[in-house]
Amino acid sequence: MYFALMGTCLGLFVLAWAVVRLWSIPVAVGMCVVAMVIPPLAAVVANRRGPDDRWWDDPSGDPKSDEWWDELDGKKRPPR
């Protein structure tokens, strides 16, 4: 998805200034404005985590804290 978005961005820039500017400079500028918005969106899409990626339960390094969080998440049963 990232490469498709960035390819679209590059295509808009090239098309705007190689072809469209010959007929309408305001349209070419508008295409560049649209292309300008695409890279941040592509970065967000590329760095999005899936529903199974749970970055918040990476171990913190503190065994007591990790044990407490595991118990809250239901990974381990509390001692009886």
Is the pLDDT at 40 greater than 90? The verdict is yes
Alpha-carbon dihedral sign for residues 70, 72, 76, 80: positive
Q: Residue 55 has what pLDDT?
A: 66
Name every residue whose Cβ is closer than 8 Å to that of residue 15 and which is 6 or more positions away in sequence.
31
Residue given tokens 């967000």 in the structure block:
44
Maximum C-alpha span of the chain:
78
Q: Rounded mean pLDDT of 5-32?
A: 93
Q: Rounded mean pLDDT of 11-28?
A: 93
3-state secondary structure of 66: helix
Is the pLDDT at 49 greater than 90? The verdict is no
